[in-house]
A and B are shown apart, each in its own frame.
Chain A
Amino acid sequence: QVQLVESGGGLVKPGGSLRLSCAASGFTFSDYYMSWIRQAPGKGLEWVSYISSSGSTIYYADSVKGRFTISRDNAKNSLYLQMNSLRAEDTAVYYCARVVSSGYYLLDYWGQGTLVTVSS
């Protein structure tokens, strides 16, 4: 069965950096686009970024462009999110999700999320 397990969250000071990981299993990772989505405490879902199956195509939300970098290692079945210049408003649960990209883009499987807290 499809499993996505995020890790790497924690407490970081404003201006600091953090790298999230998402370990995928139960499907052919290299066949799928992948995405990061976040949810601030008590708020709605916010898309962060997605990456194509080969890693050659990447898009970011305006709120993280220039600060966050998405990447993947298909040999390790892993997705990453490097987060730099973190701000208090980046505090959220970060989910990784598998993307079905055939004509439309939907998120058919999600991990349980990892909490990132940006605070001094």
Chain B
Amino acid sequence: SYVLTQPPSVSVAPGQTARITCGGNNIGSKSVHWYQQKPGQAPVLVVYDDSDRPSGIPERFSGSNSGNTATLTISRVEAGDEADYYCQVWDSSSDHQIVFGGGTKLTVL
């Protein structure tokens, strides 16, 4: 089955740029989606299809995907961005499974 690998944690100071990676075999050939989950809340979609944003998501959230790594970039980080972030793909080649990365805890220093 397809595996997505994320760093367990990323720390960044307010106002700086946070980059959260998601590694997978030839992930650049897949569409990657990103979710933000704050404590006690359901996940929220923040980036879809590698780099598109749902309505209501700030432009500070962006994404890219190439080769074996997809990246969620959060510019001008705010305290309210502190959360867990998960990447997700659909693996059409392996029993049509939806696959999540292990999640990354973003800490705003």
Q: Which residues of A are interface residues toward B (Cβ below 8 A)?
A: 35, 37, 44-47, 50, 59, 61-62, 95, 100, 103-108, 110-113
Contact = CB atoms under 8 A, between A and B. Distances in A.
Which of B42, B43, B102 is the most central at the interface, judged by chain A CB atoms within 10 Å of its CB? B42
A105 B35 CA distance: 13
Given A110-B42, A110-B43, A103 B31 contact: yes
22 contacts: A37-B100, A44-B84, A44-B86, A44-B101, A45-B35, A45-B37, A45-B86, A45-B88, A59-B95, A61-B97, A95-B42, A104-B31, A104-B48, A104-B49, A104-B90, A105-B98, A106-B49, A107-B45, A107-B98, A108-B45, A110-B43, A110-B44
7 closest residue pairs by CB, A with B: A104-B31, A105-B90, A47-B98, A44-B103, A110-B42, A106-B33, A45-B100
Contacts of A44: 84, 86, 100-103
Interface in B56-109: 84, 86, 88-90, 95-103
B103 A45 contact: yes
Interface residue tally of chain B, by bracket?
20 to 34
A40 B54 CA distance: 27
Interface of A is mostly: strand
Nearest to A111: B42
Contacts of A46: 100
Contact of A45 (B43, B49, B54): B43
Contacts of B88: 45, 106-107
